[in-house]
Structure 1
């Protein structure tokens, strides 16, 4: 049975993406997840982001190009806010609170956009634990099977000989530390950037400066974390 998510999955596979070799895509699990999400759409649920953007994080940052991995939870549940990249915001209102905290670690003064697409083109994989959500229902698809894709993507980056930095923010992201080889890669942990994090252990943690320092030590170009803005 076809549907918008199944069609997006077929297009992703046809694109020749290196990520399509993961077991999640090869062994049929992706088809089961897509069918489950399409069933929700058929039942009248509004699923976000647009199906064309569901696999955007993988499409923009091939496995061989990954230098930094940032893991999020799921897309913003307000229509028009998400574009398929973890934490990235393209809505018309104020920046989400967590994203403000994140970008304050780049430059607390400079006006900026919330669209993180420029990071992906430099090798930053912005991957959520669930690639879909329902409008007004944050976390609605966290148990749909998407998490296996995230686990496999982290494992695949860790298995490469090329070094990468993993920025793990919050308990859900930090739980994947066990999938990463610390002998080859950097793991930079902190609490979640959400203002609801009572420990407040993300502000001042300097994840971007630390990531760039680690890359520079290995002769790799740093990431330009600065974003344009109005």
Structure 2
């Protein structure tokens, strides 16, 4: 039951969970929705505010059953890469010379990359169906909460992400804004933008460990 889903403890102070989540949970009751109760808050569970270093914002979960795993742009390990993720990996290969073995980006999340969608639920085959349910308040509040901990790197792909977080990046934050990696727009500024090396250069300049985007043996073993 949606109303029985545990709120991620590290983010429980957010007003969303007191003001908006009960109503959304009631609307999800007795529906077949994705990614389902066990993964709906996966991004927040894997990346608590004190660990968040990078923010990548998506729109909503993949609407094909078995594909979404609760992280923006990410899919379950056995799922073939969606077109946007193929382009993300193509840019990563050109940028840093390596890519992860699957489309499961959980290893990014464990390293402090908050992979949050502006809507955390969808009905099978109906992309964007819950976009106006109030989920977007959660993304906004989560970013503000994470900003209390440290400067953040924002990777904002496309107008949707840029609009959703407009006004939040500060002078101490890194902001990379490009076209969306979708095949419809990737050649209008996404390809060649080198977001992965740029974020890592920024992190290293701050004395922080870089993100292991391609999942090295060290991260895989850990």
TM-score of the aligned structures, taking structure 1 as reference length: 0.87
The alpha-carbon distance between structure 1 residues 177 and 150, as it changes in their structure 2 partners (threshold 3 A), is: closer
User: 2: CA distance between counterparts of 1:128 and 1:202?
Assistant: 19
2:9 is the counterpart of 1:23: no
* Match 2:196 to one of 193, 203, 208: 208
2:33 is the counterpart of 1:47: yes
What per-residue deviation string (whole Å, max 9, x for no partner) do you get for residues 136-176 of structure 1?
Answer: 01111111110111111122223x15111011111110013
* Match 1:89 to one of 75, 98, 113: 75
2:62 is the counterpart of 1:70: no
Maintained 8 Å contact 1:74/1:128: yes
* Match 1:5 to one of 2, 5, 11: 2
2:174 is the counterpart of 1:183: no
2:116 is the counterpart of 1:124: no
Counterparts of 1:101-140 in structure 2 under 5 Å?
Answer: 101-107=87-93, 112-140=101-129
Partner of 1:147: 136
Unaligned runs of 5+ in 2: 217-222
User: 1: CA distance between counterparts of 2:194 and 2:61?
Assistant: 24
Partner of 1:33: 24
Report the 3-state secondary structure (helix = DSSP H, G, I; strand = E; otherwise coil) of the residue aligned with 1:187: strand
Maintained 8 Å contact 1:169/1:189: yes
Partner of 2:219: none
The alpha-carbon distance between structure 1 residues 218 and 100, as it changes in their structure 2 partners (threshold 3 A), is: same
Query: How far does residue 50 in structure 1 lie from its aligned partner after superposition?
Result: 2.1
Aligned length: 214
Query: How far does residue 92 in structure 1 lie from its aligned partner after superposition?
Result: 3.7
Query: How far does residue 196 in structure 1 lie from its aligned partner after superposition?
Result: 1.5
The alpha-carbon distance between structure 1 residues 50 and 195, as it changes in their structure 2 partners (threshold 3 A), is: same
User: 2: CA distance between counterparts of 1:203 and 1:168?
Assistant: 14
The alpha-carbon distance between structure 1 residues 198 and 118, as it changes in their structure 2 partners (threshold 3 A), is: closer
RMSD of aligned residue pairs (Cα, Å):
1.9
Name whichever of 164-173 and 194-203 sits farther off: 194-203
The alpha-carbon distance between structure 1 residues 177 and 55, as it changes in their structure 2 partners (threshold 3 A), is: closer
Maintained 8 Å contact 1:151/1:179: no
